[in-house]
Amino acid sequence: MVDQLSLVRSGPAKPERILLLLPGGGQGVEAFTEYTDAIDPDQRWLVAVAQPRISTRLGPLWYDVEPHYDMDAAADTVLAVAATASLLMQETGLGPERFVLAGFSQGAVISVLTLLDPRVTFRPAGVAALAGYLFPAEDDIELSRSKDVPVLVAHGRDDAGVFATRGWELACELQKAGAALSWREVEGGHHISPYLLAALRGWLGAFERSEIPRDSPDRTISRPVPTIELPSRPIRQARKGDQVQSA
C-alpha cells in the first residue's frame, strides 16, 4: 500500500482547482502556509501543503542527499505524491485537468519527477518548479510525458544552494520535450522569495482565466551567468513500482 502525505489545507468549501505544494528539503509546511493568501488571493483553489516525509539530521527531506541522492526514496515519494493527488481529486470531484503540482527545491524536483514518471497514470494540468533541477540521465523517467503540459521553471539568479544554471538546464530539457514552458529568472537566492511567489501567482492566474500559460515555443532561453558552481553528486537509480491510478 502506498503511503499518503500529511497535509495542511486551506481554501473554499467548493474549490475550482487543486494546488498541491511541496516545500524544500529542510522545510516544513510553514514554508508555504504563510504565503497561501498571496498564492491564492481570491480563495479559488484548494491549497494543500505537504510535509516532507523523511526525518533526518538535516531536517525533513523528500529524499536524502548524503552521501548521494537517494533515488529509491525519491521514487517512493513520487508514488506518495500521486496517491495524495488522487485522494484530493476524489474528495473534491475534480479531475487531473484541474490539479496543479508545485514545489520548491527538493519539492520542485519531486513535482517534475511526478510528471515524468511513467508509473503515474495521470498528468497534472500544470507543474511549477521553483529553484529546482532535473536528475540527469535517469532511465525511469520519460521527458515526453511533459509534452504540451504547462510547466513553470522559476529560479533566483543569486541562488547559491541550487545554482540557477541547474534550473536553466531543466527548462531547456522540458522545452526540447515539448512542454508548454514558462521560464522565469528572478531576483533572489535560495529561498521562497516574493519574486518566486510573484512568478507562481502570475502563472496560476492563467489557469483561472482558462488560458494555457507558456512562453513562445521559439524563445531562446538565455543561460544564467554563474557566480558559484556547485559540485555534482552521483545518482542512484529509482526502483520500479506499482502504477498509481487517478480517482
- The grid cell for 167 is 534550473
228 assigned to some structural domain: no
- Per-residue pLDDT of 45-56, as tens digits, reads 999 999 999 988
Domain containing 203 — which CATH number?
A: 3.40.50.1820
Kindly tell me if the per-residue pLDDT of 179 is higher than 70: yes
pLDDT band at 135 (very low <50, low <70, confident <90, very high): confident
Residue 224 lies in a domain: no
- Please count the structural domains in the chain: 1
Neighbours of 194 (CB within 10 A): 13
Q: Give a yes or no: residue 239 inside a domain.
A: no
pTM of full prediction above 0.75: yes
Q: Where in the sequence is the domain holding 149, given as residue range(s)?
A: 7-208
Between 240 and 21, name the one with better pLDDT: 21
- The answer to whether position 2 is within a domain reads no
Q: Is the pLDDT of residue 13 over 80?
A: yes
Return the closest-CA partner of residue 19 out of 195, 200, 230: 200
Residue 225 lies in a domain: no
Residue 183 belongs to a domain: yes
The sheet carrying 17-22 orders its strands as 7-10, 45-50, 17-22, 99-104, 126-130, 150-156, 180-186
107 domain residue, yes or no: yes
C-alpha cell at 101: 503540482
d(CA 145, CA 180): 12
Distance CA 190, CA 97 (A): 30
Whether the per-residue pLDDT at 237 is higher than 50: the answer is no
Mean pLDDT of the chain: 89
DSSP states of the chain = ------EEEES-SS-SEEEEEEPPTT--THHHHTTHHHHSTT--EEEEEEPPSEEETTEEESS--SSSB-HHHHHHHHHHHHHHHHHHHHHHT--GGGEEEEEETHHHHHHHHHHH-TTB----SEEEEES----TT-TT--GGGGTT-EEEEEEETT-SSS-HHHHHHHHHHHHHHT-EEEEEEES--SS--HHHHHHHHHHHHHHHTT------TTPPPPPPPPS--PPP--BPPPPP---B---
- Residue 146 falls inside a structural domain: yes
Residue 227 confidence (pLDDT):
58
- Convert the pLDDT of each residue in 84-132 to its tens digit: 999 999 999 999 999 999 999 999 999 999 999 999 999 999 999 999 9
